[in-house]
Chain A
């Protein structure tokens, strides 16, 4: 673990030094890519809130488009990793196992800030889906509660499931 940390630390430092070098943002259109990424991210956050409203109306199209966009966005750090992060051939002569090399490669994908944005975007959509799921569940429970004939059956079923779990655990 210490070896992986050392190499990633070294590579992280190298990455930021390259980024902060004068003129580095003009190399390979990095500056433009950064601006476009920021704009895209801001738009994404707004689109997420819009998708929330749409899905409440039973229209999952916006959410599907966002999931597709985030999948595409993941391709960028993956495809550009050879230029911006550790080349495995640079460390292959060192005493590192295949697992170490895998973690070094995977860890080094998260060095560029673009990767952080994609991670933040993915976490945002994950959090949104979780909140949506919880809200739907609460909505379902409250609807069942309000409907007198089904409420008894619902609680009865819940109690049976809990008892079953409890008894299976004891057995």
Chain B
């Protein structure tokens, strides 16, 4: 059974089609990269799959549960790192983790134990009492990631998880994601950092203007003598010539 499956998922905003007839099938225990330029529909897809937006047409199943018919059950099985991080101002990183634990119905002792471990792993222990609106972008991202992980979800949706995160933390997060996938978790990542994605994911899809233009495994790509960047540039667009900016120093 696929961990994530979408069937003709479509979403429009007025006349703009953000996601058009999306069909994905992601196996359990894999890391899937979802790539595309800005405004291509990556975050909208994550929002559709995590119940933040309602699709105009089509359906998606997460661990066999329909996002349309069982949204609450789906949300109990998933962890989400949203695009806007969805954090509360004037609440500390530690309080955020305890809140996430309580919302996912973990008992207080368990929440505290997991929160301590996550803070230590993500190098947030010294800043645990920092209010998130006074924290750096990287800290905020790590806090939101820890919140997504605290209940040990079966499926993890990460929208740009490495953006603004320092190299050490980035490496730790990659190791953690690989370990989680090894243990059976399914991870759906959107990212612009192609080198990271290339080393991390098994399969990927490139979305342009709401439509999947390429979907294959990284192994297949490398075997054909190409890199992810080559493919991305091939499908996403031409490189601009610098002559038009002759006035730039």
Chain A interface residues (CB < 8 Å from chain B):
2-3, 6-7, 10-11, 13-15, 17-18, 21, 86, 89-97
Contacts and interface: CB of A to CB of B under 8 A. Distances in A.
Contact of B102 (A3, A21, A97): A3
Given A2-B102, A17-B90, 12 more contacts: A3-B102, A6-B99, A10-B88, A11-B88, A21-B90, A86-B88, A89-B84, A89-B86, A91-B86, A93-B75, A93-B80, A95-B104
Contact of A17 (B52, B75, B131): B131
Contacts of B236: none
A61 B80 CA distance: 56
Contacts, number: 61
Given A10-B95, A94-B103, A95-B104, A89 B131 contact: no
A92 B71 CA distance: 11
Contacts of A91: 86, 103
Interface residues of B, number: 23
A8 to B, nearest CB: 11
Given A10-B95, A17-B131, A90 B72 contact: no
A13 B99 contact: no
A96 B52 CA distance: 12
Specify which of A11, A93, A97 lies most central, judged by the most chain B CB atoms within 10 Å of its CB: A93
Q: Which of A92, A96, A97 is packed against the most chain B CB atoms within 10 Å?
A: A92
Interface string B131-164: 1000000000000000000000000000000000
Nearest to B104: A95
A70 B25 CA distance: 56
Interface of B: 50-52, 72, 75-76, 80, 82, 84, 86-91, 95, 99-100, 102-105, 131
Contacts of A94: 75, 100, 103-104
B86 A90 contact: yes
29 contacts: A2-B102, A2-B105, A3-B103, A3-B105, A6-B99, A7-B103, A10-B91, A11-B88, A13-B95, A14-B88, A15-B90, A17-B131, A18-B90, A21-B90, A89-B52, A89-B86, A90-B88, A91-B103, A92-B51, A93-B51, A93-B75, A93-B86, A94-B75, A94-B103, A95-B72, A95-B104, A96-B72, A96-B75, A96-B103
